[in-house]
A and B are shown apart, each in its own frame.
Chain A
Amino acid sequence: MGAGRLRAPMERHGRAAATSASSTREPAPEEPDGRGQEPLRRRANSTSVPAAGTSAEGARRDRHGSCSGGTSVSRQRVESLRKKRPLFPWFGLDIGGTLVKLVYFEPKDITAEEEEEEVESLKSIRKYLTSNVAYGSTGIRDVHLELKDLTLCGRKGNLHFIRFPTHDMPAFIQMGRDKNFSSLHTVFCATGGGAYKFEQDFLTIGELQLCKLDELDCLIKGILYIDSVGFNGRSQCYYFENPADSEKCQKLPFDLKNPYPLLLVNIGSGVSILAVYSKDNYKRVTGTSLGGGTFFGLCCLLTGCTTFEEALEMASRGDSTKVDKLVRDIYGGDYERFGLPGWAVASSFGNMMSKEKREAVSKEDLARATLITITNNIGSIARMCALNENINQVVFVGNFLRINTIAMRLLAYALDYWSKGQLKALFSEHEGYFGAVGALLELLKIP
């Protein structure tokens, strides 16, 4: 059920194998009222920029205009260009449906001379981003994720991970204007749907031209790169031992030395599922609209919470079995005819059909049930895809998993239990930032 293997011609050439697919992350069918609308299609073209090598250059079609490079102003900048290094600042941007993910490379090897020549606006950006952990009322720097002493394109520095809600995108663009970004003649590599949605605003308000990148390309590139550099000496990838047992449950490092084939489940607002066979060979298998946005959206409606953190905090205190109808609620125990354990959920929110039970549940219970419902469903779809694709390691990424140990442990347990130990659920420390990292890598033309 690989998405959209139809209609749109294969336009990816060069490095990518013929099966690689770029496509949207939006999985679910449209509203049936809209008759005659086309089913999900593969995106006609990707604007991903191949490696510096020129062989693929001719085949590449960049229909969205070029990435604006800008002309150099200083000696330092001339140097940079000569080395085929883009000008600072180095950003990678991933504008999702709910969250904007921004990675920023802070050079730590700046010479005194360089610092002197550094234009004021560039310096101000660097200071602003690195000396704060919060920006405005909604921007946050995930300090604990910072990657230190990284070497990128011959420069040493730290990689910072910043996020803010997509609805604050206009403010971000305005800030770019206020800080006079356009004078830096920098390139803004961006991925995610928002790269398209806000392209015009960047141009007209911020006087900035975006280099739009395919989000699945970026995602995969980002994951592979981040895994290769590790996490400040620790392992990037991990799994859970005894996920169902709160006493014995352990988060353990996992060495992803044989990454392929890999099922990659990216849980953002919605969910995309990719089968990855090599660095350049992957396909989008399917996706679901029941994702992080659904969890948080339903929680807002059911509990009146206002932040993802609040929703998770409520969920951690709730009891979903008051909300869900379990197998044992119907059969008094296990349903042996079908080998179903009594603790399995038979009907999510099934108890809420009864008025008395609706009146007896707390908001915390509802938040927990929402979390369990969405997570189990993603696990179930991922498991079926893994079976259909004959892949047994499944990496779950995306911001739904941020500070969401309940979901991760449940995914780990569900995958193990229902596959009778055949499938392994893996997670990654920088769960939501891979797209943005991939965009940065494209900027630096790092393969």
Chain B
Amino acid sequence: MAECGASGSGSSGDGLDKSITLPPDEIFRNLENAKRFAIDIGGSLTKLAYYSTVQHKVARVRSFDHTGQDAGQDHESPYEISVQEEVTARLHFVKFENSYIEACLDFVRDHLVNTETKVIHATGGGAYKFKDLIEQKLGLRVAKEDVMTCLIKGCNFVLKNIPQEAFVYQKDADPEFRFQTNHPHIFPYLLVNIGSGVSIVKVETEDRFEWIGGSSIGGGTFWGLGALLTKTQKFDELLHLASRGQHANVDMLVQDVYGGAHQTLGLSGNLIASSFGKSATTDQEFSPEDMAKSLLHMISNDIGQLACLYARLHGLDRVYFGGFFIRGHPVTMRTITYSISFFSKGEVQALFLRHEGYLGAIGAFLRGAEQDNPDQYSWGENYAGSSGLMSSSPELGPTQGAKSGTFDLLEMDRLERPLVNLPLLLDPASYVPDTVDLTDDALARKYWLSCFEEALDGVVKRAVASQPGSADAAERAEKFRHKYRDKLQTLRHQPFAYGTLTVRSLLDTREHCLNEFNFPDPYSQVKQKENGVALRGFQSVVRALDALGWEERQLALVRGLLAGNVFDWGAKAVSEVLESDPQFGFEEAKKKLEERPWLVDSYDTWLQRLKGPPHKCALIFADNSGVDVILGVFPFVRELLSRGTEVILACNSGPALNDVTYGEALLVAEHIAAMDPVVHSALREERLLLMQTGSSSPCLDLSRLDEGLAVLVRERGTDLVVIEGMGRAVHTNYRAALRCESLKLAVLKNPWLAARLGGRLFSVIFKFEVPAE
């Protein structure tokens, strides 16, 4: 009754294909610096994992050196930009058919430049079989790792680091995949691994898990018994056969036993009374399709039933399914989902994992990398380098089945710092950053996919322009164009490829692709120039504000915040204006704004609130560089400071569009402090703190924020959160519920979105929320 994650040394995979030629810049990338190898060899697929470093150009900002000869010179720019090389850590995972293993190992050996690695950590049933081949080809010693330990480690890793890793599958629903927001506490859960047999493992903590049961009726039973019954040899073909069959021809159903009476008895006649029961009572011939279907139901139902019995016995409701029986096969996900729902009466949902196929390899890698403490870091899925769900699914037609589809990739970037929940989220378990689920909303999906595709020319142009000294900028920009266009194309057909499709994921994918081709910050000069211009206007704006009466000033500050937010290079309607009219400034932007009452307008409540006691500490998420942060946000910050409210100004850690980065914000603040005593003293006394968010996205995921920021937010007793801009306050967090007061404000710079929300271009969202007592 046992099981083992390994699938059998099945029928496929013995004839090795040596003829394959691998495109080195697409598969097995960054091998030169690779170290720490791990391999998971299953019955038909091999997963190779390695850790590598990626060298990237990054734009760094710093103050001009005032001690040097430039001293005293009046700069047009407030700071200088230098391009530096930065090394980041990345995990690479490559999945391919066992038949390519020899060719792949040769390739790895040929491209491995002087690595210090001596060992490869191996797991999976095939690790024994290919041990000698691996040692001989790579010259590395094979260290065997326990299959289940690797699986669980891998599972914990993806559940912690990849938002929307888990999904439920519903065949006839649209979308078929419904992704789950990661629960902040991933334990305890049940992992049902359906390999050749079934293992049911209860996972309680990072290091504590227990085999609580299993069944010998699993994928091997489907495959082995299926091959005997139908003479079809391959697992995939058996599934295909099953998908065309009618099990009722083979199974004895309730209606076969009860006749028509099942209706009057309130029984569902289609329930299976006895699997294969008809083959016991009649002499007829059965079609292979029908037998395969009957077998599929028999096995799926049995596994679902046992999983429910175990879940009930241990009081668990999160049950993840994996193993080769499940792996990307809609047919089996469907029958398992049905069975679980039936036997648990809907109390347990079958959950599947996007990267289920990589769990063993991830786990084996982590086992080997324990001295690097990979668990201490947060990791992020790199959309540019990852294939996405079902990339090589046979169901997706011939175009996907070609050579490139033979290899499936996953790349995870190591993030500088650990990411955690914003402590002020009302309910971290139910928090969903994104406002619109584009997998669900076909109309919105169509619009945004075209929108991003249309904007691509502009992005390419901007990228090239940002690197005037680079000879290959145009070439790299074209590569970027192809890469991102391919991604958009993939998402058109498989919106579920990277979890729930959202405007945020489209934006993030674009940033990842730009980075991939060494355009780390195409807007760096634009931001530099705009920051310079805005800084020069700061004092007059502040003077004008100070001249106003209290009530007038409050409205002017809010209008300033909103007008600043118009300066968004990510919005086509704005970027066109900014490109064509260099004189377009703060005052022009104010004129574009919708007059009150705004589309969403709780300004009066806000004003009332300001008449009350000051907030203790405000957390403000800044948006754009230039006018936005300098003439909109800083005067607003200054007002809060004067009221006695401490302010944490949180900016992106890395660049995204023209959003102000933490590095830039520090320099901007320095310049403002030099002009303004309020800001100056607040900075010195740490009543104004600049922090980084841990993100490089134009949007905001409050469940993945820099740990230092979270700690500070808690320490300072933050009681007001201000989220600014379309990306952070509309595309994401529009519906985010916080435990403290919050202000979400944005100018709608996209006519389609504005129309959808019942407004028009430059409509204003001003949403002040006070949590219920």
Q: What is the interface of chain A, defined by CB distance below 8 A to chain B?
A: 1, 5-8, 24-32, 34-35, 37-45, 63, 96-98, 165-167, 192-194, 196-199, 268-270, 286, 288-294, 296-298, 300-302, 323-325, 327, 330-331, 335, 337-341, 344-355, 358, 366, 373, 376-377, 380-381, 384-385, 387-388, 414, 418
- A63–B199 CA distance with the chains assembled, in angstroms: 47
- A45–B266 CA distance with the chains assembled, in angstroms: 9
Q: Which residues of A contact B279 (CB under 8 A)?
A: 297-298, 300-301
The answer to whether B19 has its CB under 8 Å from any CB of chain A is no
Q: Known interface pairs A300-B279, A347-B224. Does A339 touch B211 (Cβ–Cβ under 8 Å)?
A: yes
Q: Is the CB of B345 within 8 A of A6?
A: yes
Chain B residue nearest in CB terms to A198 = B259
- A353–B8 CA distance with the chains assembled, in angstroms: 7
* Closest beta carbon of chain B to A324's beta carbon, Å: 7
The B191-227 residues at the A interface (CB cut-off 8 A) are: 195-197, 199, 211, 213, 215-221, 223-225, 227
Q: Is the CB of A349 within 8 A of B225?
A: yes
Q: Known interface pairs A28-B301, A197-B261, A387-B313. Does A269 touch B229 (Cβ–Cβ under 8 Å)?
A: no
Q: Which residues of A contact B1 (CB under 8 A)?
A: 344-345, 376, 380, 414, 418
Q: Which residues of A contact B43 (CB under 8 A)?
A: 353
Binds A, one of B98-106, B267-275, B453-461, B765-773: B267-275
Q: Is the CB of B343 within 8 A of A29?
A: yes
Q: Is the CB of B221 within 8 A of A337?
A: no
Q: Which residues of A contact B228 (CB under 8 A)?
A: 302, 349, 352, 358, 366
Q: Known interface pairs A324-B216, A373-B216. Does A98 touch B281 (Cβ–Cβ under 8 Å)?
A: yes
Q: Is the CB of A28 within 8 A of B4?
A: no
Q: Which residues of B contact A385 (CB under 8 A)?
A: 309
- A242–B306 CA distance with the chains assembled, in angstroms: 27
- A376–B306 CA distance with the chains assembled, in angstroms: 13
Q: Is the CB of B221 within 8 A of A373?
A: yes
Q: What is the interface of chain B, defined by CB distance below 8 A to chain A?
A: 1-4, 6, 8-11, 43, 125, 146, 148-149, 171-172, 195-197, 199, 211, 213, 215-221, 223-225, 227-229, 233, 235, 247-248, 250-254, 256-262, 264-268, 270-282, 286, 291, 297-298, 301-302, 304-306, 308-310, 312-313, 334-335, 337-339, 342-345
Q: Is the CB of B280 within 8 A of A350?
A: no
Q: Is the CB of A269 within 8 A of B196?
A: no
Q: Known interface pairs A293-B277, A354-B10, A376-B216. Does A32 touch B268 (Cβ–Cβ under 8 Å)?
A: no
Q: Is the CB of B2 within 8 A of A335?
A: yes
Q: Is the CB of A41 within 8 A of B267?
A: yes
Chain A residue nearest in CB terms to B347 = A1
Q: Is the CB of B2 within 8 A of A340?
A: yes
Q: Which residues of B contact A97 (CB under 8 A)?
A: 252, 256-257, 273-274, 277, 281
Q: Is the CB of A30 within 8 A of B272?
A: yes
Q: Is the CB of A302 within 8 A of B229?
A: yes
Chain A residue nearest in CB terms to B195 = A347
A-B CB proximity, top 10 nearest? A352-B224, A197-B259, A293-B274, A193-B257, A196-B261, A347-B220, A297-B276, A350-B220, A349-B224, A30-B270
Q: List 8 A-B contacts (CB under 8 A).
A: A27-B272, A30-B253, A44-B264, A193-B257, A294-B280, A297-B275, A350-B196, A376-B216
* Closest beta carbon of chain B to A205's beta carbon, Å: 14
- A344–B219 CA distance with the chains assembled, in angstroms: 17
Q: Is the CB of B10 within 8 A of A353?
A: yes
Q: Is the CB of A325 within 8 A of B8?
A: yes
Q: Is the CB of B275 within 8 A of A349?
A: no
Q: Is the CB of A269 within 8 A of B345?
A: no
- A293–B294 CA distance with the chains assembled, in angstroms: 13
* Closest beta carbon of chain B to A142's beta carbon, Å: 20
Q: Is the CB of A348 within 8 A of B274?
A: no
Q: Which residues of A contact B10 (CB under 8 A)?
A: 353-354
Q: Is the CB of B224 within 8 A of A40?
A: no
Q: Which residues of B contact A25 (CB under 8 A)?
A: 273
* Closest beta carbon of chain B to A207's beta carbon, Å: 19
- A268–B305 CA distance with the chains assembled, in angstroms: 19
Q: Known interface pairs A26-B267, A31-B247, A331-B4. Does A96 touch B148 (Cβ–Cβ under 8 Å)?
A: no
Q: Is the CB of B266 within 8 A of A330?
A: no
Q: Is the CB of A325 within 8 A of B196?
A: yes
Partner of A377, one of B8, B215, B267: B215
Q: Is the CB of B342 within 8 A of A290?
A: no
- A270–B254 CA distance with the chains assembled, in angstroms: 10
User: Which of A293, A348, A349, A353 is the most central at the interface, judged by chain B CB atoms within 10 Å of its CB?
Assistant: A353
Q: Which residues of A contact B345 (CB under 8 A)?
A: 1, 5-6, 39
Q: Which residues of B contact A35 (CB under 8 A)?
A: 172
Partner of A301, one of B2, B286, B338: B286
Chain B residue nearest in CB terms to A22 = B265
- A323–B221 CA distance with the chains assembled, in angstroms: 10
- A25–B10 CA distance with the chains assembled, in angstroms: 37
Q: Which residues of B contact A325 (CB under 8 A)?
A: 8, 196-197, 220
Q: Known interface pairs A300-B279, A388-B312. Does A347 touch B3 (Cβ–Cβ under 8 Å)?
A: yes
Q: Is the CB of B261 within 8 A of A199?
A: yes
Chain B residue nearest in CB terms to A34 = B270
* Closest beta carbon of chain A to B149's beta carbon, Å: 7
Q: Known interface pairs A97-B277, A197-B259, A293-B277. Does A29 touch B271 (Cβ–Cβ under 8 Å)?
A: yes
Q: Is the CB of A197 within 8 A of B258?
A: yes
- A300–B257 CA distance with the chains assembled, in angstroms: 20
- A339–B1 CA distance with the chains assembled, in angstroms: 12
* Closest beta carbon of chain A to B50's beta carbon, Å: 26
Chain B residue nearest in CB terms to A43 = B265
Partner of B281, one of A166, A324, A376: A166
Q: Is the CB of A388 within 8 A of B258?
A: no
- A193–B3 CA distance with the chains assembled, in angstroms: 37
Q: Known interface pairs A293-B275, A350-B196. Does A37 touch B270 (Cβ–Cβ under 8 Å)?
A: yes
Q: Is the CB of A43 within 8 A of B257?
A: no
In the complex, besides A1-B343, A1-B345, A325-B197, 17 extra interface pairs with C-beta distance below 8 angstroms are: A27-B271, A31-B272, A40-B271, A40-B342, A193-B259, A197-B260, A289-B301, A293-B274, A301-B229, A301-B291, A302-B229, A323-B224, A330-B6, A338-B211, A349-B221, A353-B9, A354-B9
Q: Which residues of A contact B195 (CB under 8 A)?
A: 347
* Closest beta carbon of chain B to A364's beta carbon, Å: 14
* Closest beta carbon of chain A to B192's beta carbon, Å: 14
Q: Which residues of B contact A346 (CB under 8 A)?
A: 2-4, 196-197, 216, 220
* Closest beta carbon of chain A to B551's beta carbon, Å: 60
Chain B residue nearest in CB terms to A356 = B11
Q: Known interface pairs A26-B271, A344-B2, A354-B11. Does A349 touch B220 (Cβ–Cβ under 8 Å)?
A: yes
- A194–B761 CA distance with the chains assembled, in angstroms: 71
- A25–B277 CA distance with the chains assembled, in angstroms: 14
Q: Is the CB of B277 within 8 A of A355?
A: no
Q: Which residues of B contact A31 (CB under 8 A)?
A: 247-248, 270, 272, 297
Q: Is the CB of A352 within 8 A of B225?
A: yes
- A319–B286 CA distance with the chains assembled, in angstroms: 27
Q: Known interface pairs A26-B272, A353-B227. Does A348 touch B221 (Cβ–Cβ under 8 Å)?
A: yes
Q: Is the CB of B339 within 8 A of A29?
A: yes
Q: Known interface pairs A25-B273, A298-B276, A349-B228. Does A43 touch B298 (Cβ–Cβ under 8 Å)?
A: no
Partner of A384, one of B149, B197, B309, B339: B309
- A7–B267 CA distance with the chains assembled, in angstroms: 12
Q: Which residues of B contact A45 (CB under 8 A)?
A: 265
- A340–B215 CA distance with the chains assembled, in angstroms: 12
* Closest beta carbon of chain B to A365's beta carbon, Å: 11
* Closest beta carbon of chain A to B482's beta carbon, Å: 40
- A396–B163 CA distance with the chains assembled, in angstroms: 48
Q: Known interface pairs A197-B261, A376-B1. Does A290 touch B271 (Cβ–Cβ under 8 Å)?
A: no
Q: Is the CB of B217 within 8 A of A269?
A: no
Q: Which residues of B contact A7 (CB under 8 A)?
A: 266
Chain B residue nearest in CB terms to A42 = B266
Q: Is the CB of A269 within 8 A of B252?
A: yes
Q: Is the CB of B309 within 8 A of A351?
A: no
- A244–B545 CA distance with the chains assembled, in angstroms: 91
Q: Known interface pairs A197-B258, A348-B216. Does A294 touch B274 (Cβ–Cβ under 8 Å)?
A: yes
Q: Which residues of A contact B312 (CB under 8 A)?
A: 1, 388
